[in-house]
Structure 1
Amino acid sequence: MKVIQYLSIFCCFFNTLIYSQHDTNITYGLKFGALHSKISNLPESIKGRDNTFDNSKMETKGLYGLEGGFFLNFKLYDTRVAIQPEILFRQSGETVTYKDRVGKEFELGLNYSYIEIGALYKVYPYKGLNLGFGAFYGVSLSPNNVTYKSNEAGGLYDVATRQFYQDGLDGADDFSMCFSLGYELQQSIHFDLRYYLGVKDVVKSNASSFQFIENQNKTNTISLSLGYSFHQW
């Protein structure tokens, strides 16, 4: 329901731009790419007040994922400036690995997916070369997508432990600032390198799970994508 509401707002925004910018050149198309994301401060949140994690080592590694969706590009008349609204599907997350002195090991993965709605303000200093700045709001699609595997009793307790983390940690909506560097060829092919800086906590700990502590867990994402415009300026 929440996704439908945001999509309705986004469609209204598109219609307003289309009918208000009579002298604006409009392009539209699809983009698809790969990304690498991280979520900050996860070990601190997971350890929390649980003393059984003392004398252990936790490390994190980011998640590789996909990003893709639809864009519109509104080039303002007689300028080298454009506004580019987008609606994207994006994967994001983090993996935490644990080892202690008695040989226990486990790997905990938070694997989130979002519908991203936002826009970029783009400047074209030379031909198709462009620099962009904008913001995106991510509507969470998989707040409880948690994976867990361990070497404890041959993985006998992995299902129950995974459910414990699913009940204790909830993925929340994301909000991020976006910085982009791209190039648009005359043949409608686009190359785009982006950095998304999360400014919102995306992992919420439930009150019933006393061992977790609430922390600022923010996303950081680098993406490289290829786009195609169905209509040229």
Structure 2
Amino acid sequence: MKVILHLIIFCCFFNASIYAQHESNITYGLKLGGLHSTISNIPESIKGRDNTFDNSVMESKGKFGLEGGFFLNCKLYDTRVAIQPEILFRQMGETITYHDAVGKEFELGLNYSFLQIGALYKVYPYEGLNFGVGAFYGINLSPNDVTYTSNEAGGMYDVATRQFYIDGLDGGDDFSLCFALGYELHKSIHFDFRYYLGVKDMIKSNASSFQFIENQNKSSVFSFSLGYSFHQW
């Protein structure tokens, strides 16, 4: 399935590049922005069957990150629509905080980096105003980047506990639908607000002494970016 998705995305970029050689309304450029991401059901996975968590509070806080990369905007001839393939680098993940009645506290960070490949179908109802919908496949470049800090014994056991989480939670690739609202100024500046809805389980829970429970852990990302289009082809 992953190979098929990669082939589809590659074909999209290849076709857009060929089309660009014969059309004057093709632009390309770079974009950079910030985002806030969450991953669903992480506390439920971590609590598992460990009764020591019964009188505790565990919350998802989300994580801020950056997103940036290359885009190719192909406005279809004599229409108000465009196809926009993109290759992006993204930082996203989740932050989990814990505290209980006896004063124990810890913070768990899942810090993932992704290579995002996908495309948007964009409609321009008025001048540079545009709405877009599309899909992106994210290749996880750092599936085991986990941080763990606690106040237990002055952090004496943090390294060992962090390794338990690395062994018990495997970060995977992501696949998400994208909904975008943007505006393109005449001087090549673009503003873009997006919501990415994850539709794929992106974390696998492995057997460990923590007795994690496997469930559906899906991403949710809000992003805002600024783009710049270079000269037309």
Which range, TM-score by smaller chain?
Answer: over 0.9
Letter in 2 for 1:157: Y
Q: Tell me, in whole angstroms, the C-alpha distance in 2 between the residues paired with 1:24 and 1:15.
A: 17
Displacement, 1:221? 0.5
- The corresponding residue for 1:14 is 13
- The corresponding residue for 2:55 is 55
- Mapping for residues 161-176 of structure 1, pairs under 5 Å: 161-176=161-176
Contact persistence 2:86–2:119 (CA under 8 A): yes
User: Secondary structure of the equivalent of 2:52?
Assistant: helix
- The corresponding residue for 1:100 is 100
2:228 matched to 1:228?
yes
Contact persistence 2:24–2:232 (CA under 8 A): no
Displacement, 1:20? 4.5
Deviations 1:39-84 (A, max 9, x none): 1111100001111111111111010000000000110000010000
Q: Tell me, in whole angstroms, the C-alpha distance in 2 between the residues paired with 1:116 and 1:216.
A: 21
Over 3 Å counting, the alpha-carbon distance change for 1:6 and 1:29 in structure 2 is farther
Displacement, 1:162? 0.3
Q: Which runs of 5 or more structure 1 residues have no equivalent in the other structure?
A: none
Q: Which runs of 5 or more structure 2 residues have no equivalent in the other structure?
A: none
CA RMSD of aligned residues (A): 2.1
Deviations 1:158-213 (A, max 9, x none): 00000110011010100000000000011000000000011111111113456100
2:213 matched to 1:213?
yes
Displacement, 1:25? 2.0
User: Secondary structure of the equivalent of 2:49?
Assistant: coil
Q: Tell me, in whole angstroms, the C-alpha distance in 1 between the residues paired with 2:115 and 2:102.
A: 42
- The corresponding residue for 2:148 is 148
Q: Tell me, in whole angstroms, the C-alpha distance in 2 between the residues paired with 1:184 and 1:75.
A: 13
Deviations 1:85-114 (A, max 9, x none): 000001111111111111111111111110
Contact persistence 1:58–1:99 (CA under 8 A): yes
- Mapping for residues 62-77 of structure 1, pairs under 5 Å: 62-77=62-77
Percent identity over the alignment is 76
Letter in 1 for 2:166: Q
Displacement, 1:232? 4.3
Contact persistence 2:164–2:208 (CA under 8 A): no
User: Secondary structure of the equivalent of 1:46?
Assistant: helix
Which of structure 1's runs of 4+ aligned residues deviate more than 6 A?
A: 5-9
Contact persistence 2:88–2:116 (CA under 8 A): yes
- Mapping for residues 86-165 of structure 1, pairs under 5 Å: 86-165=86-165
Over 3 Å counting, the alpha-carbon distance change for 1:195 and 1:187 in structure 2 is same
Letter in 1 for 2:14: N
Q: Tell me, in whole angstroms, the C-alpha distance in 1 between the residues paired with 2:24 and 2:209.
A: 53
Q: Tell me, in whole angstroms, the C-alpha distance in 2 between the residues paired with 1:20 and 1:155.
A: 57
Contact persistence 1:96–1:108 (CA under 8 A): yes
Over 3 Å counting, the alpha-carbon distance change for 1:39 and 1:134 in structure 2 is same
Displacement, 1:15? 2.6
